[in-house]
Structure 1
Amino acid sequence: MTVVQQNTRNIMANKKKPSEKQEFLAQQRREQRRKTAKEEKKKHHKRKIVTTVVCCAAAVAVVAGGITWFVREKPLTQMIPVEKTEHYSVNAAEVSFYAWQIYNSYINSSTGSDSANLPDTEKPLADQNYDNDTTWEAYFTDAAQKYAENVLAYCEAADKENYEFPENISAMVKAAKEQMDFSTLPSSVTQDNVTHALELYFKAQSFSTSVEENMSFTDDELESYYKENAKTMDVCSYMEFSFSYDDSGDSTTISRSEAEELARSLRRCNTKDEFQSWVYDYYAKNTSLTEEDLQSQLSTLYSHNISYTEGDDVSEWAFSGEAKAGDSNLFTDTDNKRITVCLLLDEPKRDESHPVTIRQILFTTNTYESSDGAHSAAEKALEEWNSGEQTESAFAALADQYTEDTTVSGGLYQNITEGQLSSAWQNWCFDATRKSGDVMILDSSYGSCLVYYVEAAEQAGWEMTATNALQNQRYNELQETYQKEADLKSSDWGMRFVTVNNQK
């Protein structure tokens, strides 16, 4: 995880109250507005100053006094270093660029339930509240300041450790700028500002990636971390099926007593095969599902490599230390009128499986109108693959050309653990005979995928979890050290010139 990824994750994931700095700045703005209003009234009856010399002097005076500093806003954004270290600095315009980046990332990455907590993009951010005490404008500008602090701290640390920055940073900046839409960029930000801000970003990113890649931990360190966090790291497997009920008398539903009777019957199944066979017969008797749809439903019964979730009834039971493999239990959810039967297959233990990396090309039934149509499209892509270079990069290019999955580049999915995939993918990806370069068409109810197997990770799942956690710990410690050693100088006054976009 890079410095920017870590910083953005911390900023965006944590919903926190405004800092003392934010509260101070907000109070200063209110006092400034009151002061300006009073002085405007006093000036109303004074004679106008018309000479150029006096006007210039007055302009300097009011800027120094903080009354109408906006008269020279654009040059000041270039002149004032908002964050500064011994060798690096960013001005108000460059911090505005960072704020603009964070804002766009926040808006574009929020989907589903997350989209409810978004500002109105058609209205000024300063007129909308993030919470009771903070506007969205203040939220993003404060985030940008923290972002800039981390970037400068890592650049200083890189110099101190004689780190050699990549020679292609200029090319990276150029490529990044070509992908950006600057239509909403704050008017105070010039292309030179964008270039400088991106240069610093890529330097910080390069060094932080190097730091992370050079972190290593002994087997004893990993084992010690596991022992301290076994409950949250262990995984288990179980079968699960729910009966929904309704006592309203609706002939299309079953009553609670009927659901309880069915649940008790299913609970007598002590193995995976027995459990699955019972549910198969239940579906066949009570529904008109096709065999394909029925098999699809059966695939949802099995939950593999499931970790502990505090407060979840099934999880609390499975990880209690009392439940044994082959035990089953009933869970009644009266709010949602549902009774769930859970059969524990494997007791909690550390994950010894090795996560895998794959690439895939998705063809959906929506686009190709049927399962056969989607499968046929996958077969054509496979023919094209077989007639080409048959390398991973060639498959990635094919994925970029044909896949309907736009969430990843080149169809790449990394470090997939057992339990994350549906049964067909699970069986194929974690087959002991699987080797790099294997290709297969896998079908599902929503379409077909042409899948390329890249590799399995060297570390087991539990080792990877422990390594990532220890990396984060050490990373946070280093980040704190780098910021302290960088001796950052911040300008609260300069932050007054930082904006997010052109909404006024």
Structure 2
Amino acid sequence: MSASREKKNRQGQEGTGFSDPRTAREAESLKQERRTNIMYAAIGVLFVVVALIVVVVKSGVLQNTVSAATIHGEKYKAEEVNYYYVNAYNSFLNQYGDYISYIGLDPTQSLKAQQSAFSEGQTWHEYFVDQGLATMSSVHALADKAEAEGFTVDDLDEQIKTNLDDLASFVEEFNTNNNTSYTAETYLQAMYGEKMTLDLYKKQVRLAIIASEFSSDYQNNQLSYTLDDLKAEYEANRQDYDVVNYESIFVSGSVPTKDADGNDVEVTDEMTAAAMAEAKTTAEGVLSSFQSGETLEAQSAANEDLSYNFAEEATYSSAPAAAQEWLFDTSRKAGDVTVLEADTGYYVVLFHTRSRYDYNTVDVRHILIQTEASQLAETDEGYDDDVARLKAQAKSQADSLYQAWKDGAATEDSFAELANEQSADPGSNTNGGLYEQVYKGQMVASFNDWCFDESRQKGDTGIVETDYGYHIMYFVGQDDPYWQVQVENALRTQDYNTWYEEVTSGYEATTSKLGLQYVG
């Protein structure tokens, strides 16, 4: 199984819940644009994600004749809307975990009695109704479009069966761990309400798979770009992709709001103007000293009121707002220096270089042997020894697996098979441990350093230690230059957005107050 073939074959999202494709797209964009660690959150089946979280839903008899929502002319009863409502709620709890109390949500209290922190004038109940209906509308819009275009999922029945088998296994384990006696259907009813059936659940799973696969197929297979397309976009919007290297000193023009005794000070416009004028004079003095040969860094070291910064690779958005246009002016040249006014002070900015990311991204496979966590507290006697023992245990396992691979076929395909069998990384242990178009700084330091070692060659292998454990590495090879990856991601996002809005237009949900009383 080659990396290129896997790249073409990876489509869709596994699981019972459908992720809004806009959210999935934004997540992929963020993965390319910001520093992350080696562990990526896996998209798992819903009942595994929510684990023991069971929403207590109204168990009263729903009126079979009452619809709760209408989407594109089709009426849907409360039990179907409730499926997406509960998914939205559980997804939210899973995302925010222990932090939900900080955003004002108390799971032990009625959602209808709590004001949402995310939407003014809404209760949390109304917020999750809206979130659930938005996803439901997306699913139906995409599934309808797929059917209209004759799109099919080759292994649809197999995916549904796998989902139901996983559900049965999970419920069996849940019963064992909690001394309960749920069947798959009664567990679903505890999750979604008494009107939920296996058939209705299968219907939702089927729709989610079709919608997700169709969406992914369009984004990954139907959209394509030539090098000329990428160059044209880059030239038209260079500031979105370039980075600058510069130094700066910031001189504050703010007026203290407390006096020396800690008393409040009423700041007047005159005081602010005077402070800003003084900051400007200081900044101009810094500029003059620089032009006389004293570096910005040296001046800052000698004066604690001068805030120094050296930016090696600053994007347009990460540069100070007051300096963005000046730094990214195409006429800028090395050694340019100026004083720029900001809202609360003045910057002295020294420009060095402007560039793009011309280095090649890389494709790499890995097998993570995770170090088990110690069951002892850090303050317990023997904690350090126990941690060392567990690390040695993981290292020994990694060494043994690595040696077994080398003693076998020792090919990329055999490595991929071993990754699927043995890796603890949920972000890659279903695709042969493969990460593609990895850019510098994306992975944790030791993983990154191994990938971007200048001596690295196709087919290189080794073991790398990180805080997560030991990674058996396989270097697949270099991929496209990072600037091309950035530009293509931007174009793909833009074009997907346009397509998605067209597909979902007209699928906005309308609700029935009578039917919605049975939701949640």
Q: Could you say which residue in structure 1 is the equivalent of 2:102? A: 116
Q: Could you say which residue in structure 1 is the equivalent of 2:199? A: 192
Name the CA distance, whole Å, in 2 between partners of 1:136 and 1:438. Answer: 52
Q: Could you say which residue in structure 1 is the equivalent of 2:185? A: none
1:222 CA drift (Å): 2.5
Whichever residue aligns with residue 156 of structure 1, its letter is D
In structure 1, list runs of 5 or more residues that go unmatched. 13-69, 241-259, 276-300, 330-334, 336-340
- Please tell me whether the aligned partners of residues 363 and 448 of structure 1 are also in contact (alpha carbons under 8 angstroms): yes
Provide the aligned length of Structure 1 versus Structure 2.
382
1:215 CA drift (Å): 0.9
Q: Could you say which residue in structure 2 is the equivalent of 1:150? A: 138
1:431 CA drift (Å): 3.9
Call closer, same or farther: CA 1:444–1:238 in 2, change over 3 Å.
farther
Q: Could you say which residue in structure 2 is the equivalent of 1:352? A: 358
Call closer, same or farther: CA 1:321–1:424 in 2, change over 3 Å.
farther
Whichever residue aligns with residue 207 of structure 2, its letter is L
Call closer, same or farther: CA 1:209–1:236 in 2, change over 3 Å.
same
Whichever residue aligns with residue 174 of structure 1, its letter is K
Per-residue deviation, residues 241-268 of structure 1 (Å, max 9, x unmatched): xxxxxxxxxxxxxxxxxxx9xxx9xx98
- Secondary structure in 2 matching 1:355: strand
Per-residue deviation, residues 99-137 of structure 1 (Å, max 9, x unmatched): 222222222122686873362222222222214411111
Per-residue deviation, residues 129-151 of structure 1 (Å, max 9, x unmatched): 21441111111111111212121
Call closer, same or farther: CA 1:306–1:176 in 2, change over 3 Å.
farther
Name the CA distance, whole Å, in 1 between partners of 2:412 and 2:101. Answer: 35
Q: Could you say which residue in structure 2 is the equivalent of 1:225? A: 233
- Please tell me whether the aligned partners of residues 81 and 491 of structure 1 are also in contact (alpha carbons under 8 angstroms): yes
- Please tell me whether the aligned partners of residues 359 and 452 of structure 1 are also in contact (alpha carbons under 8 angstroms): yes
Q: Could you say which residue in structure 1 is the equivalent of 2:473? A: 451
Q: Could you say which residue in structure 2 is the equivalent of 1:384? A: 401
| 1:438 aligned residue (450, 460, 472) | 460
Per-residue deviation, residues 355-410 of structure 1 (Å, max 9, x unmatched): 33434425559659567973773354133233135455655665577666566646
Alignment of 1:213-362 (within 5 A): 213-236=221-244, 307-310=315-318, 312=320, 316=324, 347-360=353-366, 361=368
Call closer, same or farther: CA 1:372–1:432 in 2, change over 3 Å.
farther
Call closer, same or farther: CA 1:427–1:407 in 2, change over 3 Å.
closer
| 2:504 aligned residue (454, 464, 483) | 483
Call closer, same or farther: CA 1:217–1:137 in 2, change over 3 Å.
same
In structure 2, list runs of 5 or more residues that go unmatched. 1-10, 13-17, 28-58, 172-187, 249-285, 298-308, 339-343, 375-383
Name the CA distance, whole Å, in 1 between partners of 2:79 and 2:130. Answer: 14
Call closer, same or farther: CA 1:235–1:168 in 2, change over 3 Å.
same
| 2:161 pairs with 1:174 | yes
Name the CA distance, whole Å, in 2 between partners of 1:193 and 1:205. Answer: 18
- Please tell me whether the aligned partners of residues 8 and 147 of structure 1 are also in contact (alpha carbons under 8 angstroms): no
Whichever residue aligns with residue 480 of structure 1, its letter is E
Call closer, same or farther: CA 1:380–1:146 in 2, change over 3 Å.
closer
CA RMSD of aligned residues (A): 5.0
Q: Could you say which residue in structure 1 is the equivalent of 2:69? A: 82
- Please tell me whether the aligned partners of residues 20 and 135 of structure 2 are also in contact (alpha carbons under 8 angstroms): no
* Larger of the two Rg values belongs to structure: 1
Name the CA distance, whole Å, in 1 between partners of 2:473 and 2:327. Answer: 34
Percent identical pairs in the alignment equals 23
1:438 CA drift (Å): 2.7
Per-residue deviation, residues 327-380 of structure 1 (Å, max 9, x unmatched): 999xxxxx9xxxxx99988x3322222333434425559659567973773354
Whichever residue aligns with residue 199 of structure 1, its letter is R
- Please tell me whether the aligned partners of residues 375 and 443 of structure 1 are also in contact (alpha carbons under 8 angstroms): no
Name the CA distance, whole Å, in 2 between partners of 1:441 and 1:303. Answer: 33
Per-residue deviation, residues 17-71 of structure 1 (Å, max 9, x unmatched): xxxxxxxxxxxxxxxxxxxxxxxxxxxxxxxxxxxxxxxxxxxxxxxxxxxxx97
Name the CA distance, whole Å, in 1 between partners of 2:26 and 2:482. Answer: 28
| 1:134 aligned residue (122, 125, 137) | 122
Name the CA distance, whole Å, in 2 between partners of 1:376 and 1:224. Answer: 53
Call closer, same or farther: CA 1:469–1:402 in 2, change over 3 Å.
same
1:442 CA drift (Å): 2.5
| 1:429 aligned residue (446, 451, 476) | 451
- Secondary structure in 2 matching 1:415: strand
What TM-score, normalized to structure 1? Answer: 0.59
Call closer, same or farther: CA 1:373–1:205 in 2, change over 3 Å.
closer
Name the CA distance, whole Å, in 1 between partners of 2:359 and 2:365. Answer: 19
- Please tell me whether the aligned partners of residues 107 and 118 of structure 1 are also in contact (alpha carbons under 8 angstroms): no
Call closer, same or farther: CA 1:116–1:494 in 2, change over 3 Å.
same
Q: Could you say which residue in structure 1 is the equivalent of 2:82? A: 96
Name the CA distance, whole Å, in 2 between partners of 1:342 and 1:371. Answer: 48
- Please tell me whether the aligned partners of residues 89 and 128 of structure 2 are also in contact (alpha carbons under 8 angstroms): yes
Q: Could you say which residue in structure 2 is the equivalent of 1:374? A: 391
- Secondary structure in 2 matching 1:224: helix
